[in-house]
Structure 1
Protein backbone atom coordinates (compact mmCIF):
# COMPACT_ATOMS: atom_id res chain seq x y z
CA UNK A 1 0.00 0.00 0.00
CA UNK A 2 1.15 3.57 -0.73
CA UNK A 3 -0.01 6.85 0.83
CA UNK A 4 0.44 10.08 -1.12
CA UNK A 5 0.05 13.40 0.65
CA UNK A 6 0.34 17.03 -0.40
CA UNK A 7 0.57 19.68 2.31
CA UNK A 8 -0.84 23.13 1.54
CA UNK A 9 -0.39 26.37 3.47
CA UNK A 10 -3.64 28.18 2.74
CA UNK A 11 -3.72 31.94 3.24
CA UNK A 12 -5.67 32.83 6.35
CA UNK A 13 -9.22 33.81 5.34
CA UNK A 14 -9.10 31.68 2.17
CA UNK A 15 -10.00 28.38 3.80
CA UNK A 16 -13.60 28.27 2.53
CA UNK A 17 -12.54 29.08 -1.06
CA UNK A 18 -9.80 26.42 -0.90
CA UNK A 19 -12.23 23.80 0.36
CA UNK A 20 -14.74 24.68 -2.36
CA UNK A 21 -12.09 24.17 -5.05
CA UNK A 22 -11.52 20.65 -3.75
CA UNK A 23 -15.20 19.84 -3.26
CA UNK A 24 -16.08 20.93 -6.80
CA UNK A 25 -13.21 19.41 -8.78
CA UNK A 26 -13.66 16.21 -10.74
CA UNK A 27 -10.54 14.18 -10.05
CA UNK A 28 -11.82 10.86 -11.49
CA UNK A 29 -9.76 9.10 -8.81
CA UNK A 30 -12.35 6.36 -8.43
CA UNK A 31 -11.77 5.38 -12.06
CA UNK A 32 -8.08 4.73 -11.50
CA UNK A 33 -6.76 1.20 -10.95
CA UNK A 34 -5.35 0.83 -7.45
CA UNK A 35 -7.11 3.84 -5.93
CA UNK A 36 -8.42 3.07 -2.43
CA UNK A 37 -9.37 6.28 -0.61
CA UNK A 38 -9.12 10.10 -0.59
CA UNK A 39 -9.38 12.59 2.27
CA UNK A 40 -8.84 16.35 2.46
CA UNK A 41 -7.58 17.17 5.95
CA UNK A 42 -7.73 20.54 7.68
CA UNK A 43 -4.97 21.10 10.21
CA UNK A 44 -4.03 23.86 12.60
CA UNK A 45 -3.94 27.56 11.85
CA UNK A 46 -0.72 29.50 12.26
CA UNK A 47 -1.85 33.06 12.98
CA UNK A 48 1.73 34.34 13.20
CA UNK A 49 2.51 33.12 9.67
CA UNK A 50 -1.02 33.78 8.34
CA UNK A 51 -2.00 30.33 7.08
CA UNK A 52 -4.02 27.19 7.80
CA UNK A 53 -2.41 23.85 7.09
CA UNK A 54 -4.23 21.34 4.86
CA UNK A 55 -3.24 17.95 3.48
CA UNK A 56 -4.66 15.91 0.63
CA UNK A 57 -4.33 12.24 1.53
CA UNK A 58 -4.78 9.40 -0.96
CA UNK A 59 -4.29 5.70 -0.39
CA UNK A 60 -3.23 3.49 -3.30
CA UNK A 61 -2.80 -0.26 -3.60
CA UNK A 62 0.82 0.34 -4.69
CA UNK A 63 3.32 3.09 -5.48
CA UNK A 64 3.11 2.00 -9.13
CA UNK A 65 -0.65 2.67 -9.15
CA UNK A 66 -0.02 6.17 -7.77
CA UNK A 67 2.67 6.89 -10.37
CA UNK A 68 0.31 5.69 -13.12
CA UNK A 69 -2.28 8.21 -11.83
CA UNK A 70 0.28 11.05 -12.05
CA UNK A 71 0.93 10.18 -15.70
CA UNK A 72 -2.74 9.79 -16.66
CA UNK A 73 -5.11 12.02 -18.61
CA UNK A 74 -7.34 12.03 -15.50
CA UNK A 75 -4.49 13.61 -13.50
CA UNK A 76 -3.91 16.29 -16.14
CA UNK A 77 -7.63 17.07 -16.25
CA UNK A 78 -7.89 17.24 -12.44
CA UNK A 79 -4.97 19.70 -12.22
CA UNK A 80 -5.50 21.81 -15.35
CA UNK A 81 -6.94 24.80 -13.45
CA UNK A 82 -4.60 24.65 -10.45
CA UNK A 83 -2.78 27.84 -11.49
CA UNK A 84 -5.99 29.87 -11.21
CA UNK A 85 -5.93 29.47 -7.43
CA UNK A 86 -2.36 30.57 -6.63
CA UNK A 87 -3.67 33.40 -4.45
CA UNK A 88 -5.04 30.85 -1.98
CA UNK A 89 -1.60 29.45 -1.12
CA UNK A 90 1.51 30.57 0.73
CA UNK A 91 3.98 28.76 -1.48
CA UNK A 92 3.69 25.54 -3.47
CA UNK A 93 2.29 22.30 -2.06
CA UNK A 94 4.76 19.92 -0.44
CA UNK A 95 4.50 16.28 -1.54
CA UNK A 96 5.18 13.34 0.78
CA UNK A 97 4.86 9.69 -0.30
CA UNK A 98 4.92 6.73 2.07
CA UNK A 99 5.03 2.97 1.61
CA UNK A 100 2.99 1.26 4.32
CA UNK A 101 5.19 -0.93 6.51
CA UNK A 102 2.49 -2.10 8.90
CA UNK A 103 -1.21 -1.42 9.22
CA UNK A 104 -4.41 -2.73 10.72
Structure 2
Protein backbone atom coordinates (compact mmCIF):
# COMPACT_ATOMS: atom_id res chain seq x y z
CA UNK A 1 0.00 0.00 0.00
CA UNK A 2 1.35 3.45 -0.93
CA UNK A 3 2.91 5.44 1.92
CA UNK A 4 3.29 9.23 1.95
CA UNK A 5 5.87 10.83 4.25
CA UNK A 6 5.73 14.57 4.87
CA UNK A 7 7.67 17.06 6.95
CA UNK A 8 6.22 20.51 7.61
CA UNK A 9 8.64 23.42 7.94
CA UNK A 10 7.79 26.92 9.12
CA UNK A 11 10.35 29.13 7.39
CA UNK A 12 10.94 32.69 8.57
CA UNK A 13 9.46 35.34 6.30
CA UNK A 14 12.00 36.65 3.84
CA UNK A 15 14.10 33.45 3.98
CA UNK A 16 12.03 31.37 1.55
CA UNK A 17 14.53 31.58 -1.35
CA UNK A 18 17.37 30.50 0.98
CA UNK A 19 15.33 27.48 2.10
CA UNK A 20 14.47 26.51 -1.49
CA UNK A 21 18.12 26.85 -2.56
CA UNK A 22 19.23 24.53 0.25
CA UNK A 23 16.78 21.89 -0.97
CA UNK A 24 17.71 22.34 -4.65
CA UNK A 25 21.41 21.89 -3.88
CA UNK A 26 21.29 19.04 -1.37
CA UNK A 27 22.61 15.56 -2.12
CA UNK A 28 19.75 13.13 -2.69
CA UNK A 29 19.95 9.40 -3.25
CA UNK A 30 16.15 9.04 -3.21
CA UNK A 31 15.83 7.97 -6.87
CA UNK A 32 18.09 4.98 -6.21
CA UNK A 33 16.16 3.79 -3.14
CA UNK A 34 13.94 0.71 -3.49
CA UNK A 35 10.27 1.64 -3.33
CA UNK A 36 10.79 5.37 -3.89
CA UNK A 37 8.16 6.89 -6.21
CA UNK A 38 8.39 10.71 -6.16
CA UNK A 39 9.51 13.73 -4.10
CA UNK A 40 8.01 17.22 -4.00
CA UNK A 41 8.97 20.31 -2.03
CA UNK A 42 5.74 22.23 -1.62
CA UNK A 43 5.42 25.92 -0.79
CA UNK A 44 2.25 26.81 1.09
CA UNK A 45 0.67 29.85 2.66
CA UNK A 46 2.38 32.54 4.70
CA UNK A 47 1.25 34.21 7.90
CA UNK A 48 2.75 37.16 9.81
CA UNK A 49 5.80 35.11 10.84
CA UNK A 50 6.50 32.30 8.42
CA UNK A 51 5.84 30.49 5.17
CA UNK A 52 4.81 26.85 5.32
CA UNK A 53 6.80 24.34 3.27
CA UNK A 54 6.22 20.60 3.09
CA UNK A 55 8.63 17.93 1.89
CA UNK A 56 6.46 15.20 0.38
CA UNK A 57 7.72 11.75 -0.61
CA UNK A 58 5.67 8.88 -1.96
CA UNK A 59 6.84 5.30 -1.36
CA UNK A 60 5.47 1.99 -2.59
CA UNK A 61 5.04 0.86 1.05
CA UNK A 62 5.66 2.03 4.61
CA UNK A 63 8.37 -0.64 4.81
CA UNK A 64 10.29 0.97 1.93
CA UNK A 65 10.15 4.33 3.72
CA UNK A 66 11.31 2.78 7.00
CA UNK A 67 14.16 1.00 5.20
CA UNK A 68 15.28 4.36 3.79
CA UNK A 69 15.25 5.95 7.28
CA UNK A 70 17.69 3.26 8.42
CA UNK A 71 19.96 3.58 5.38
CA UNK A 72 23.33 5.20 4.85
CA UNK A 73 21.67 7.36 2.16
CA UNK A 74 19.32 8.79 4.83
CA UNK A 75 22.25 9.59 7.12
CA UNK A 76 24.10 11.30 4.25
CA UNK A 77 21.03 13.35 3.32
CA UNK A 78 20.56 14.58 6.88
CA UNK A 79 24.18 15.25 7.82
CA UNK A 80 26.26 18.29 7.07
CA UNK A 81 23.30 20.61 6.66
CA UNK A 82 24.32 24.25 6.27
CA UNK A 83 24.05 26.61 9.24
CA UNK A 84 20.50 27.92 9.23
CA UNK A 85 20.23 30.08 12.35
CA UNK A 86 16.84 31.78 12.35
CA UNK A 87 15.65 30.05 9.18
CA UNK A 88 13.12 27.78 10.91
CA UNK A 89 10.41 28.69 13.38
CA UNK A 90 10.53 25.42 15.34
CA UNK A 91 11.52 21.89 14.34
CA UNK A 92 10.01 20.12 11.32
CA UNK A 93 6.79 18.23 12.02
CA UNK A 94 6.65 14.72 10.53
CA UNK A 95 3.40 13.18 9.25
CA UNK A 96 3.08 9.74 7.66
CA UNK A 97 0.06 8.39 5.80
CA UNK A 98 -0.93 5.10 4.22
CA UNK A 99 -3.16 5.45 1.18
CA UNK A 100 -6.56 3.83 1.67
CA UNK A 101 -8.08 4.99 -1.65
CA UNK A 102 -6.05 5.82 -4.75
CA UNK A 103 -7.06 7.00 -8.20
CA UNK A 104 -4.48 7.21 -10.98
CA UNK A 105 -4.31 7.49 -14.73
CA UNK A 106 -4.40 4.13 -16.48
CA UNK A 107 -0.93 2.75 -17.29
Q: What TM-score do the two structures reach when normalised by structure 1?
A: 0.94
Tell me which residue corresponds to 1:66. 65
**What is the distance in 2 between the residues matched to 1:33 and 1:87?**
35
In structure 1, runs of 5+ residues without a counterpart are none
Q: Distance in 2 between matches of 1:2 and 1:85?
A: 29
Q: CA RMSD in A?
A: 1.0
Structure 2, unaligned stretches of length 5 or more? none
Shift of residue 86, structure 1, vs aligned partner: 4.3
User: 2:56 aligned with 1:57, yes or no?
Assistant: yes
C-alpha distance in 1 between matches for 2:95 and 2:72: 22
2: distance between equivalents of 1:89 and 1:16?
Answer: 13
Return closer, same or farther for 1:24/1:83 CA change in 2, 3 Å cut-off: closer
Alignment of 1:1-104 (within 5 A): 1-47=2-48, 50-82=49-81, 84-104=83-103
Larger % of helix: which?
1
Which one has a bigger Cα radius of gyration?
Answer: 2
Length-normalised TM-score, structure 2 = 0.92
